[in-house]
Amino acid sequence: MLARGHTCALRTACVTRSRSFASEAITTRLVPGSEITSAQQERMVDVLTNSFLSYPEHTLMWGDNRKINRTLMEASVAHSIAKHRVWLAETESEIVGVGLWTDPGATWITEEDVHAVFGGVIELIEPKFLQFVMEDMLPGQAVLQDEYSPSCAVDWHFGAMLGVDPKAQSQGIGGKIMAEVIKRARDVPVVLHTQGPKNLYFYNKHGFKVAATHDFVLPNGETWGDNLMVHRPDGWA
């Protein structure tokens, strides 16, 4: 088994504003997978793909090839609908934000899941990058979680992905999803991986603290800094 919350990272996208949602009512809700329609699932993939492609730390890792990124989001959304939790932020007419989370103690991706869930992505990426993901990044993120977990008395809610449609960013929508996740978690910690100063600022604003960090060296020689962040209602043990 991989670490309890093993994932690529939880991210929010950088600011790209083209439409104001201030006058529209935004509803944030936890949606059972059985109630998500195929049209909603497709829209969730669109939101996450567009969101992550606007996020430099994501494209530094995964590149900007839309087919690869969309395949990654299709697999992540389908996996969460089948096994985990889905949060949606919606206007009356469309989904504008998506959060993918696990329940406490649940593993986001097991070793058995990797090829079954992400086989389509694996077929598209370069062998040296696949080797980096499987031998460096995923084990390295597991180490970060292992460094923190002894100080955590209970299992946690793990955040796999958080994305807001670029045309709706910087308007509090990601914050609405985070507030609902934290509210539902009550006294259970909420844990996620993220990268970049804007995301660190965003999660700090919502009560998260950096529990562990690691700088990965990507196959192209670039440095990719990963942060394990934790929201602890009881403070730090």
Instruction: Report the pLDDT averaged over residues 42-54.
Output: 97
pLDDT surpassing 80 at residue 236? no
pLDDT surpassing 70 at residue 210? yes
> Quick one: pLDDT at residue 60?
93
Q: Which amino acid is at 219?
A: P
| Residues 191 and 230: beta-carbon distance below 8 Å | yes
Backbone angles phi, psi at 190, to 5 degrees: -115, 125
Mean pLDDT of the chain: 87
Is the C-alpha dihedral spanning 72, 104, 37, 110 positive or negative?
Answer: positive
Confidence at 131, pLDDT banded by 50, 70, 90: very high
pLDDT surpassing 80 at residue 33? yes
Query: What is the pairing mode between strands 157-164 and 27-31?
Result: unpaired
The proportion of the chain whose per-residue pLDDT surpasses 70, expressed as a percent, equals 86
> Quick one: pLDDT at residue 58?
95
Instruction: Report the pLDDT averaged over residues 127-137.
Output: 93
> Quick one: pLDDT at residue 105?
82
> Quick one: pLDDT at residue 23?
47
Instruction: Report the pLDDT averaged over residues 68-87.
Output: 96
Backbone angles phi, psi at 130, to 5 degrees: -60, -40
> Quick one: pLDDT at residue 152?
59
pLDDT surpassing 60 at residue 15? no
Is the C-alpha dihedral spanning 162, 166, 168, 169 positive or negative?
Answer: positive
Determine which of 2-16, 73-87, 186-200 has the lowest per-residue pLDDT on average.
Answer: 2-16
Q: What's the rounded Cα separation, in Å, for the pair 133 and 38? A: 30
pLDDT surpassing 80 at residue 222? yes
Backbone angles phi, psi at 60, to 5 degrees: -60, -40
Element (H, E) at 174: helix 173-185
Confidence at 2, pLDDT banded by 50, 70, 90: very low
SS3 state of residue 230: strand
Instruction: Report the pLDDT averaged over residues 41-45.
Output: 98
pLDDT digit string, tens, across residues 151-199:
655 688 999 999 999 999 999 999 999 999 999 998 888 999 999 999 9
Superfamily, domain 27-231: Gcn5-related N-acetyltransferase (GNAT) (3.40.630.30)
The domain spans of the chain are: 27-231
pLDDT surpassing 50 at residue 138? yes
| Residues 26 and 96: beta-carbon distance below 8 Å | yes
> Quick one: pLDDT at residue 145?
87
Q: What's the rounded Cα separation, in Å, for the pair 66 and 74? A: 12
